[in-house]
A and B are shown apart, each in its own frame.
Chain A
Amino acid sequence: MGSVAVVPLPGQGVPAGALVLLRTSSRAVFTENEEVFARLFAARAGAAMAAARLYAEQATITEILMRDLIPPQMRHVDGIEFAGGYQPSGAAERVGGDFYDLHPASQTSRETFIVLGDVCGKGLEAAAMTGKIRNTLHALLPLATNHLRVLTMLNSALLSSHHTRFATLVFASAVRDGANVRLRLTNAGHLPPLIVRGDGTVEEARTQGSLVGVLPTVQASTAVVNLEPGESCVLYTDGITEARGGPWGDAYFGEQRLKDVLAECAGIPGEAIVERVQMLTQQWIGDNHHDDIAIVAITAPRQREAP
């Protein structure tokens, strides 16, 4: 015969479980010291298990809420290459105030719709606002043949909400035209989209407009850009151009460096452009603090070589 001791594992409100000790030795009973030790151990173990359970619950909730805020996986859609890269400012964060989204062509639209933007502010609050903008734009997709109209409706939606934040963004509608890709680009107060031509020339798309969420009316012009096979259009946020660092530690990366980098990227796949720019920006920043960073490349696929 042996002895048994059952000690509850205290949790938050309800017991996290029980500790059952069995002994089959000649000394039949647990001593008082052993029982005190068991109770102490159970108290610690119970607290740790309760904390772990709480952590797991919260992590699951965060995961579910986060799912719609994380930028989508970019891919090849409708014969066009899309590549994207995203890096929130905080190392521990996965979302921030920069965002991009992609909606493939559908029955209501023959163009693929892409948006990239930047909500003023950082962190979770800004991220929640990006979710709102992405949802609103999703609902407005049937109107995407007219960028200005979408922008106007988005602006009213933002003005009527309790958020006081504003946003800058770029719309792109892309469609295959033979081997080329035809783009309609509308810039709403954002940095100019850059076109990387086959010969290494880097052009700014001629589109301008006002930011959204501030004034009762918005203005914007739309540019039409034609991409030949291998050419790309690059959308990006100021996390890249205003990245501070470099070998000296305090210089801005700047638009000129970005253009120089892109000029070397003529004819290469969109993912490679995105990776190259992200890597150089990250090296530039080093261990410095940085803003959210987002970049999207829209590329007309290179032609299949004649067999």
Chain B
Amino acid sequence: MTHTADRVDSLWSAVVAGDEYAAAGIVIAALDGGMPAEDVLLDVIAPVQAKVGLEWAANRISVAQEHAATAINDRVIAAMAHHPAARVEPRLGRVIVACIDGEWHALPARLLAEVLRLRGWRVEFLGAKVPTQHLIAHLHLTGPDAVALSSSIATRLPTAHATITACQAAGVPVLAGGAAFGGNGEYARLFGANAWSPDARSAADLLAEGLPKLTVNAHQPIDDLPHLADQEYTMVARTARSLVRQTMADLAERIPAMRQYTSQQVDRTAEDIAHIVDFLATALYTDSVELFTGFLRWTADILAARGVSGRFLLPALDVLALQLKDFTRASRFIKEAGDDLDRALDPA
């Protein structure tokens, strides 16, 4: 009798070694041994995939290895579909599973698509980064009972909001899932999604019970977010690249060491600043300072794992604040997040 934890360990070893044959063998053996296909997907493959992300964050695997591991997990899921235990005739309605435009992490959505298929739904999996226009055209053509939208990166939230609203306007209820929607689905609720699930199993349970009916009154994205009237999100999002340029220039004046950076170091730093600006814009969109604070703490952890002090973020926030001093909410967010980061970096 092999325990689930042992299977997770051996699949993890096979996946980081890039050995897809061994990886497929472990999963097929689990199915042959009578483990239900849904459990193999969610209790063996999903934890391995989660570990891939954690190991990257801790700088124990490279980003290329992360992509490779994900590709192998993807192949393993494809191999599973041929096993007799994973063959199910559809007997329920039609569900479309898609990632928000700009969202590259398709594996969580793929796992959900497979689980729904096993539960008897007729599932169409549209994959990563589905342009919203294509999704809506597809909804009109196929008329599904529900659409499940996945997003893991918070900066895709404004797009996710527009997509949710457009799906509902096409008459299809939306089930939202993925890390971007917040630990308790707060952003899914804010955007008026019909339902939210923290994981594939509860999403499948929710769909089995039937999604809450659509409300009749069609609404516009602005109706959910009255604070957008201050235009701060629009201004920061629209001028994001020039904010990055100015921040880099001001930082180089404050920190002479930056002038000795290699072009790759300059690229990395500019990317970090660009992320800060993107997350600030998203925090302004959702009006949640926690989103910005959480991102800065996470970035400091990622940098620390790579031997870089998160202290570098503080002057970057300072010069960004100077450029945005006329924006009330943005200034408050930067101040609060900066103070929080300062405390986090120096717990004494």
Which chain A residues have a beta carbon within 8 Å of chain B's beta carbons? 55-56, 59-60, 63, 91-92, 94, 246-250, 260, 264-269, 271-273, 275-276, 279, 282, 286, 302, 304-305
Contacts and interface: CB of A to CB of B under 8 A. Distances in A.
26 contacts: A55-B140, A59-B140, A59-B141, A60-B141, A63-B141, A91-B131, A92-B133, A247-B271, A247-B274, A248-B245, A248-B248, A249-B241, A249-B242, A250-B241, A267-B18, A268-B64, A269-B75, A271-B74, A273-B67, A275-B67, A275-B70, A276-B64, A302-B18, A302-B19, A304-B21, A305-B22
B20 interface: yes
Given A247-B267, A269-B20, A269-B72, A276 B67 contact: yes
B241 A268 contact: no
A148 to B, nearest CB: 35
Contacts of A264: 62-64
Question: Taking each of B131, B134, B140, B270, which has the highest tally of chain A beta carbons within 10 Å of its own beta carbon?
Answer: B131
A235 B118 CA distance: 37
Interface in B15-65: 17-22, 62-65
Contact of B71 (A55, A266, A275, A304): A275
A94 B270 contact: no
Contact of B70 (A59, A63, A272): A272
B244 interface: yes
Contacts of A268: 18, 64-65, 67-68, 71
B64 A265 contact: yes
Contact of B270 (A56, A246, A276): A246
A109 B331 CA distance: 66
Main secondary structure of the interface of A (DSSP, over half): loop
A269 B18 contact: yes
- Listed from nearest, the 10 A-B pairs whose CB atoms lie closest are A249-B241, A247-B270, A268-B68, A272-B67, A272-B71, A247-B274, A269-B71, A271-B71, A272-B68, A92-B133
Interface residues of B, number: 38
Contacts of B17: 305
A134 to B, nearest CB: 22
Interface of B: 17-22, 62-65, 67-68, 70-72, 74-75, 101-102, 104, 129, 131, 133-134, 137, 140-141, 241-242, 244-245, 248, 264, 267, 270-271, 273-274
Contacts of A249: 241-242, 244-245
B267 A275 contact: no
A94 B64 contact: no
Contacts of B267: 246-247
A249 B22 CA distance: 44
A248 B140 CA distance: 39
A296 to B, nearest CB: 15
A271 B72 CA distance: 9
A301 to B, nearest CB: 9
Nearest to B274: A247
A269 B133 contact: no
A287 to B, nearest CB: 8
A59 B245 CA distance: 44
A267 to B, nearest CB: 7
Contacts of A304: 19, 21
B252 to A, nearest CB: 13
Contacts of A269: 18, 20, 68, 71-72, 75
Contacts of B75: 269
B167 to A, nearest CB: 17
